[in-house]
Chains A and B, each alone.
Chain A
């Protein structure tokens, strides 16, 4: 138990009935919020309060609440997943805020991520990018080679694993001033193309995934680095450079 007193906060929350109607910011007051509670717990308290007042609760995505599923997707006080580095919204605690503070809570904003309701956005554009090439074609005839039988350079294995930690939350798109998905797509391209099993289809993969990314309406990369800073898994811009290299190489070979 913390000895710190509860926080009284003003919340400005985006409310939108569905994907057809226009939304707007609504103001709510919450009081006596424990600084030890997570941001999502604070949202739960707000929703209980709204239900008790016979109002519609705020819809928001959440699942594991331990920073690995990538569901929670709020833009809090002008930053994806709020202040704090390498965390998701469920890992953000109310101790980061001051008593009396006004907190802005908005959905991810991108043409490719349309709002479904309130703070919930449709991130299926990422699924379609993955469908376009985010896989390896493995022979399952019964003669499959044991993956551990193929020697892999430790550095490449580490880089592939780092890229594979991407949870596809979309914070990169939300943070980018151009709503670009380059960090996500490059992490997926890298995690496969760095390893021998993924090299076979590397050329088609990068072409197809970038093509799908463009078709979904994501913006271009301006190399501001905002995505890398806001990424809950610390995915590096190095992946974007690798994808650029692979894409340009695939276009001339």
Chain B
């Protein structure tokens, strides 16, 4: 039975929703740590040092995160291909705006933009970080993180790419957050309005918060 559970259309959407909720939780954690860079250099360095050197974070949580990210994207592509195949001939005239939101109809495009951003973020941050720690094996300096972030956001081009990406992230989350609950069957007259409100708040506050961090460090660098 379990084979059919995850190969069927509902099973695939359930898996998609589970990975989405995992990424939503990760994003909140990522934001919380990044936001401390605005409040206190010392706290940000302490937290970053912990995240960057703790073996459980590095060798257990990080691979799980990688798997979650890859799974969400690959499953997204599989679903998109299957969905496109379900309608071989397109409508000559289709008025999608009459019955659904732009965000809900364009999850693949907002998702692809986020994938592009992740590629950039990996190239820009993760690969140099791995290189620093595990290839060049430089000695750990617990106070390097804050200076690195400040240096990163001194570049206006990078700040623009980051800000634009967070706009797409907001659009993706605006539909994705509540959609994940619906896919898992979590819908109730009492709780669904609250889930939708929390989803909208999350979709706006987290990306706006990330944009604020980037702009804050840029402005400080001027």
By a beta-carbon cutoff of 8 Å, the part of chain A in contact with chain B is 12, 14, 25, 75, 77-79, 83, 104, 106, 109-112, 175, 177-180, 182, 207, 210-211, 213-214, 217-226, 229-230, 237-238, 240-248, 250-252
Q: B8, A210: Cβ atoms under 8 Å?
A: yes
Closest Cβ–Cβ distance, residue A183 to chain B (whole Å): 12
Q: B9, A210: Cβ atoms under 8 Å?
A: yes
* Residues on the A chain within 8 Å of B8, using CB: 210-211, 214, 247
Q: B9, A220: Cβ atoms under 8 Å?
A: yes
Q: Of the candidates A112, A214, A219, A248, which one forms a contact with B5 in the assembled complex, judged by CB atoms under 8 Å apart?
A: A248
Q: A223, B93: Cβ atoms under 8 Å?
A: no
Report if A12-B13 is in contact (Cβ < 8 Å); known contacts: A111-B85, A230-B99. Answer: no
Q: Of the candidates B83, B85, B91, which one forms a contact with A222 in the assembled complex, judged by CB atoms under 8 Å apart?
A: B83
B30 within 8 Å of A by Cβ?
Answer: no
Report if A106-B96 is in contact (Cβ < 8 Å); known contacts: A180-B86, A221-B183, A248-B10. Answer: no
* Residues on the B chain within 8 Å of A179, using CB: 83, 86-87
In B1-28, the 8 Å CB interface with A consists of 1-2, 4-5, 8-14
Chain B CB count within 10 A is highest, among A83, A222, A229, for: A222
A-side interface mostly: mixed
Q: Of the candidates A78, A112, A180, which one forms a contact with B94 in the assembled complex, judged by CB atoms under 8 Å apart?
A: A78
Q: Mark B87-110, 1 if CB is under 8 A from A, else 0.
A: 111111111101111001101000
* Residues on the A chain within 8 Å of B183, using CB: 221, 223, 244
Report if A223-B179 is in contact (Cβ < 8 Å); known contacts: A77-B93, A178-B87, A244-B184. Answer: yes
* Residues on the B chain within 8 Å of A12, using CB: 92-93
Q: B99, A229: Cβ atoms under 8 Å?
A: yes
B197 within 8 Å of A by Cβ?
Answer: no
Residue of A nearest to B87 (CB): A179
Q: Of the candidates A106, A210, A230, A244, which one forms a contact with B185 in the assembled complex, judged by CB atoms under 8 Å apart?
A: A244
Residue of B nearest to A113 (CB): B87
Chain A CB count within 10 A is highest, among B79, B100, B105, for: B100
Q: B185, A241: Cβ atoms under 8 Å?
A: yes
* Residues on the A chain within 8 Å of B9, using CB: 180, 182, 210, 213-214, 218-221
By a beta-carbon cutoff of 8 Å, the part of chain B in contact with chain A is 1-2, 4-5, 8-14, 79, 82-83, 85-96, 98-101, 104-105, 107, 175, 178-179, 182-187
* Residues on the B chain within 8 Å of A78, using CB: 91, 93-96, 98
Q: A224, B93: Cβ atoms under 8 Å?
A: no
Q: A224, B87: Cβ atoms under 8 Å?
A: no
Compute how far the CA of A182 lies from the CA of B183 in the bound complex, rounded to whole angstroms.
11
Q: B92, A222: Cβ atoms under 8 Å?
A: no
Give me 23 A-to-B residue pairs in the complex whose CB atoms sit less than 8 angstroms apart, sorted by A's number.
Answer: A12-B93, A25-B92, A79-B98, A104-B93, A110-B87, A111-B87, A112-B86, A179-B83, A219-B85, A220-B12, A222-B105, A223-B179, A226-B96, A242-B185, A242-B187, A243-B10, A244-B14, A244-B185, A246-B185, A247-B5, A248-B10, A251-B5, A252-B5
* Residues on the B chain within 8 Å of A242, using CB: 185, 187
Q: Of the candidates A77, A213, A237, which one forms a contact with B182 in the assembled complex, judged by CB atoms under 8 Å apart?
A: A237
Q: A229, B86: Cβ atoms under 8 Å?
A: no
Q: Of the candidates A106, A210, A251, which one forms a contact with B91 in the assembled complex, judged by CB atoms under 8 Å apart?
A: A106
Compute how far the CA of A175 lies from the CA of B91 in the bound complex, rounded to whole angstroms.
10
* Residues on the A chain within 8 Å of B90, using CB: 109
Compute how far the CA of A178 lies from the CA of B76 in the bound complex, rounded to whole angstroms.
13
Q: Of the candidates A104, A110, A238, A243, which one forms a contact with B86 in the assembled complex, judged by CB atoms under 8 Å apart?
A: A110
* Residues on the B chain within 8 Å of A238, using CB: 187
Residue of B nearest to A24 (CB): B92
* Residues on the B chain within 8 Å of A241, using CB: 182, 185-187
* Residues on the A chain within 8 Å of B104, using CB: 222-225
Residue of A nearest to B181 (CB): A241
* Residues on the A chain within 8 Å of B13, using CB: 220-221, 244
Compute how far the CA of A223 lies from the CA of B10 in the bound complex, rounded to whole angstroms.
12
Q: A177, B12: Cβ atoms under 8 Å?
A: no
Q: Which 7 A-B pairs have the closest CB atoms?
A: A78-B95, A245-B185, A251-B5, A219-B86, A241-B187, A178-B83, A244-B185
Compute how far the CA of A245 lies from the CA of B184 in the bound complex, rounded to whole angstroms.
7
